[in-house]
Amino acid sequence: MEAVLSSYLAHLAVERGLAANTLASYRRDLRRYVEHLRTRGRVTFGEVGEADVLAFLTVLREGDGDHPALVASSAARAVSAVRGLHRFALREGVAAHDPAHEVRPPRQLRRLPKAIGVAEVERLIAASGPDGAPLTLRNRALLELLYGTGARISEAVGLALDDLEQEQVRLRGKGGRTRVVPVGRFARQALDAYLVRARPSLLAHGRGTPAVFLNARGGRLTRQGAWEVLQAAAERAGLEGISPHVLRHSFATHLLDGGADVRVVQELLGHASVTTTQVYTLVTVDKLREVYAAAHPRARQ
């Protein structure tokens, strides 16, 4: 089973082009699955039955001595990985049947994305740090870019200088997909200030890197480092529950509030399907109801 698993992970990396983070999640989930099969006495994938797969789903949702119970979204990801592994085993002739074919991932509760108001975004960005300091200029540019483009945190820290153009930026998203996103005036000004007045001094501490966002040692800023920048600014601004995805949600929601077409927002966010983007429209419908209730003369009758 280990050999089949290694082949499948290689297939995902080379032929499917899965992102490194996604691949790491699949590897973790599937190694746990293989260990689960061993405890049930299965030596090959040809011996696995639907009951084994269903038992794994139960363990995911209830937890065991070594692992806590997973929420529906995490369990769904693991089940999807298992289904893909069994399809691969069937296609490669390692197994004569697919025991996971009828096993469906657990249904997830549909949650509305959290978005903060424009005034709160401005408070957050204003709390980047002491005025004029190199790291403050970097922090402000990072926050302006996250909100101004809807970039994921991994896309922002993965930026290279060649990805920046006069009024747009090239972002590399999930599955290796690349998209070009316009950069607004505030984000451009913050980036220019950082690149001219701060980045050279930070770069002098390192060995030279094309990364846009640098840490204090002159190396590429990590996802964890960018997360800490955001959390520190949120604490100074007195805001709670702020994450990179909150800025991304706010970017999308504010665009839709301003009249942007949902398919345009889909392209800007890098969503493969417009149905992923349409969840944001639920937020703006709520706002429309509020405006209607407050403004229409017959709304409260």
Q: In the CATH hierarchy, which fold is given to the domain comprising 118-293?
A: hpI Integrase; Chain A (1.10.443)
Q: What is the distance between the alpha carbons of residues 117 and 122, in angstroms, rounded to a whole number?
A: 9
- The catalytically annotated residue of 8, 26, 147, 280 is 280
Known active-site residue 271? yes
CA distance readout (Å), 35 to 10, 31, 48, 95, 103: 19, 6, 13, 18, 19
Query: Which pLDDT belongs to residue 234?
Result: 95
Enumerate the domain spans of the chain: 2-91, 118-293
Q: What is the distance between the alpha carbons of residues 278 and 124, in angstroms, rounded to a whole number?
A: 26
Query: Which pLDDT belongs to residue 112?
Result: 63
- The catalytically annotated residue of 138, 140, 152, 254 is 152
Known active-site residue 287? no
Are 182 and 193 spatial neighbours (Cβ–Cβ below 8 Å)? no
Q: Per-residue pLDDT for the chain (301 aa), expressed as one digit of tens each?
A: 899 999 999 998 888 888 888 889 999 999 999 999 999 999 999 999 999 999 999 999 888 878 888 888 888 889 999 999 999 999 999 899 999 998 888 876 566 668 899 999 999 999 998 888 999 999 999 999 999 999 999 999 999 999 998 889 999 887 778 888 999 999 999 999 999 999 999 999 988 899 999 999 999 999 999 999 999 999 999 999 899 889 999 998 898 888 888 888 888 888 877 777 777 777 676 666 776 677 666 665 4
Residue identified by tokens 């970017």 is: 251
Query: Which pLDDT belongs to residue 16?
Result: 82
Known active-site residue 101? no
Are 177 and 229 spatial neighbours (Cβ–Cβ below 8 Å)? no
Known active-site residue 280? yes
- The catalytically annotated residue of 172, 248, 249, 254 is 248
Known active-site residue 8? no
Q: What is the CATH number of domain 2-91?
A: 1.10.150
Known active-site residue 248? yes
Query: Which pLDDT belongs to residue 44?
Result: 92
User: In residues, how long is the chain?
Assistant: 301
